[in-house]
Structure 1
């Protein structure tokens, strides 16, 4: 290791007694340099990795984007699901996510879906599908204007905004009506966000 970057509030060891000065002294002895980074602040509060993680887990991906300086992404492999979305006219790519990732709160999100070098508009649902009495949390993305077999491929979802929380509906008709609204809202949001059209290549 030649260089180590740490925040100005860095601490380690018993009762967190090892600070940045201690680390720099160790670096001088062992041949590595230490770069101290100023803390990111928001209205006097420190923005830490924990703060950002909590925002994501609360579904506030817009706030997380402001703090990260980029939109939050979740990646995984497209796997077979129960195909309920296809049965009601809204096929989804079911994502088997990597264990170490933080998954946003249950709800519906406007997202970009990247497959290979292509990027597509998508509306992503995270949750247990309460209308179908589901129990396990799933991540399912409906890619707009898309009709290809991508099972087994890696897909990355870029979360732009949360459209609504997860809801239970009184039957399929009520659910499909809301999904149409979600698709319209997602398309509108993403269309105004950038110049990339659904089905277009990533910039």
Structure 2
């Protein structure tokens, strides 16, 4: 039996301004505008890695793909990233998102406080996935892909 592919999904895009709700809830997010043709996985909360293209800096992340149902009733899908280990301003940066595992479905919470409680649990689960063998394989894949891209850009 073959191993499952290391990378659940991968997308690239640019960090754009969002509604700013995450910061107010204690979970500032980088809102990603995916590049045209970059595949966005189905709505859910995921564990993953963020590679910042300008520098190659890598961050552990919890990624939400969905319509923000707790706050609005829109069909528009947003990709939002909470970096566990930096509060840097990423606006206008190009990034790559490397999805490791699906944590849970996107749901509408009864209150913002319920959402914050769930987000805390999501981050803990995300850390477990990132520390797993699969998380380390995705990390290696992301670093190799970035190195290949950087080599091509300088050639």
TM (norm. structure 1) is 0.61
Give 2:28's match in structure 1, choosing from 73, 81, 91: 91
Instruction: State how far apart, in whole Å, the 2-side matches of 1:102 and 1:134 are.
Output: 23
Runs of 4+ in 1 over 4 A off after TM superposition: none
Instruction: State how far apart, in whole Å, the 2-side matches of 1:99 and 1:195 are.
Output: 27
Q: Are the aligned partners of 2:17 and 2:31 in contact in 1 as well (CA < 8 Å)?
A: yes
1:89-124 CA distance string (max 9 Å, x none): 000000011121221110100010001311111000
Instruction: State how far apart, in whole Å, the 2-side matches of 1:98 and 1:110 are.
Output: 20
Change (3 A) 1:95 1:127: same
Whether 2:78 is the aligned partner of 1:138: answer yes
Gaps of 5+ in 1: 1-41, 43-62
Gaps of 5+ in 2: 145-155
Instruction: State how far apart, in whole Å, the 1-side matches of 2:42 and 2:136 are.
Output: 25
Give 1:77's match in structure 2, choosing from 1, 11, 14: 14
Q: Are the aligned partners of 2:29 and 2:81 in contact in 1 as well (CA < 8 Å)?
A: yes
* Mean Cα deviation higher: 179-188 or 96-105: 96-105
Change (3 A) 1:153 1:108: same
Larger-gyration structure (1/2): 1
Q: CA RMSD in A?
A: 2.4
Aligned residues: 135
Whether 2:101 is the aligned partner of 1:164: answer no
Instruction: State how far apart, in whole Å, the 2-side matches of 1:146 and 1:134 are.
Output: 30
**How much has 1:191 moved relative to structure 2?**
1.6
Instruction: State how far apart, in whole Å, the 2-side matches of 1:195 and 1:158 are.
Output: 11
